[in-house]
Structure 1
């Protein structure tokens, strides 16, 4: 339960109208730079159901017509949670994301685990589908992203967080994102799609009411409930998660694709639960003494430090050696 008192939304918006007016232009600019065309069709016209419009709400248990395999375990139901999580064992009402791995049995897919409050804006939709048009669209996309899989979708479950606000918001910043579970009867995939992402943190997670930034930002990725099988999408729980719509593991900004029955991340390697692109060389620690490279889905490492003329700097999930900049006098 949140212990932070919330000012009535109407009063708060009235008190902050000057801020909204000054930021309206920038909000509009952000809204025009979205990736909404990546998202599969959703909403009432598609027969979607909605979660309750409430802070930290959940769909409750939703039965599936198939058995979905996730990290080699079988599941016949899911929970769609307002705070950006599809969970398998139980509902998730927690609003401040913890760092993965979580080892208490919590099993879920999270496109954007943050403090959503659709009381203040937005809706959360979900449906199970075997509709031919959607399955054909998924099949065609998978053919582009993973041509060697020859994947033909026969089933999908689509959850969409549409223009959702954050808890304690004193602005009109909203996020749109989507998680798709899909199967051909043999293989099981999760597709995470990102539209417009304008905030990372609710105020109960120490975020700023006006910007939606700061505090403990959102988490994106997977957790199996043990200390071995988990994955953090680059930028998770940092300010960089705001840029998630420009990242990808399939060269399609705003989309991440994972095989989740045994868990594989196309387009690179998983190293220390982080993603390294295929062919990427990097150092694994902040002092740059161990250089690694991702090749054919495997990471190999060797002792190799930065040259004396270089500096060790953070780069994405890892570190890189950069030539020291000369200071002109």
Structure 2
């Protein structure tokens, strides 16, 4: 077990949460009728029965767990605080808006509720139809989990994160939406992060794992320092939001290669020698061919892929 953290963080947390007009977050908190998970390092809710089945990669679930460490899981709780690389070998199925070492004993709340509120169902239906324009979708159920101003384990700073996972279904099709409001840290000290900055070590993972060791997805920057910038990224042209269909896997806005994402029009190379060039087509398919860098270019890493880059100009010439 991790050692007890005796640091007391004095942080004024506003009871008034940001409204929908100020961010892409769906309503949350006591005023929205939310419940809260236990105030416990690596804690989780009890198993939460849900009133409508949720289909996740062709498997139906009738309950969820909301885990303090940034995960909504199916079938079992996830107390793990250091994120492992996807796919996981142990069969756990879960959605990870921001899997990292949260400690709500320091500060922050983890809220959750299921909802059949007509206004919220209409809102999520409108959002999904905007992102999937060829799909008619009318939600009949949704589940909202929100991590509000949560600190990292071992924190001696006032850095906090606020993010959200929204699950929605009409009984057949199922969607996941991940929203980000404030991201100031990536790593707890038990994951080798810096206690003063919340950075370094093994940073947070975002995406999901189906449990079958085949279907999984990594939001760009996962388990790297770049995950700190997740609020500026998106696959639906709205920075701070990622959306997926998950009854069967569909990602709007780009292409996937080995569970990683690139936007439409992106050109990249698969290998460190830059011999296989690929382009993400508007159809969502990758077109790849043998193609090397030009003579003056060098093959350089960029996130999980490689690009051909021209030599930098010498300003003294």
On whether the aligned pair clears a TM of 0.5, the verdict is yes
- Matched with 2:53 is 67
Determine the structure 2 residue equivalent to 1:229.
215
Is 1:244 the counterpart of 2:246 in the alignment? no
Which deviates more from structure 2 when the two are superposed, residues 134-143 or residues 65-74?
134-143
Counterpart pick for 2:279 among 293, 296, 299: 293
Structure 1, gaps ≥5 residues long = 15-19, 21-31
**Which residue of the other structure, out of 295, 311, 314, is the alignment partner of 2:301?**
314
- Equivalent residue for 1:304? 291
Q: CA deviation at 1:309?
A: 0.9
Aligned ranges for residues 36-75 of structure 1 at < 5 Å?
Answer: 37-75=23-61
TM-score by length of 1: 0.90
C-alpha distance in 2 between matches for 1:41 and 1:200: 24
CA contact (8 A) 2:186 2:200 kept: yes
Compared with structure 1, are the counterparts of its residues 206 and 36 closer, same or farther at alpha carbon in structure 2 (3 Å cutoff)?
A: farther
Counterpart contact for 1:36–1:195, Cα < 8 Å? no
> How many residues in Structure 1 have an aligned counterpart in Structure 2?
307
Partner-residue secondary structure (3-state), 1:90 = coil
Q: 2:264 and 2:236 mapped to 1: Cα distance? A: 11
Contact 2:83 2:99 in 1 (8 A): yes
- C-alpha distance in structure 1 between counterparts of 2:155 and 2:59, whole Å: 38
> Pick from 143, 152, 172: which aligns with 2:129?
143
Q: 2:7 is matched with which residue?
A: 9
Question: Does residue 198 of the first structure (1) align with residue 188 of the second (2)?
Answer: no
Runs (4+) of structure 1 moved beyond 6 Å?
none
CA RMSD of aligned residues (A): 1.7
CA distance in 2, matches of 1:156, 1:259: 14
Of stretches 318-327 and 119-128 in structure 1, the one that deviates more from structure 2 is 318-327
Distance in 1 between residues matched to 2:258 and 2:240, nearest whole Å: 23
- Aligned partner of 1:23 in structure 2 is none
Instruction: Tell me the equivalent position of 1:111.
Output: 97
Structure 2 unaligned runs (5+)?
A: 12-17
> How far apart, in 1, do the equivalents of 2:251 and 2:198 lie?
30
Aligned-pair CA distance for 1:5: 5.1
Please say which of residues 281-290 and 154-163 is displaced more in the overlay.
281-290
Q: Distance in 1 between matches of 2:109 and 2:273?
A: 45
Contact 1:286 1:319 in 2 (8 A): yes
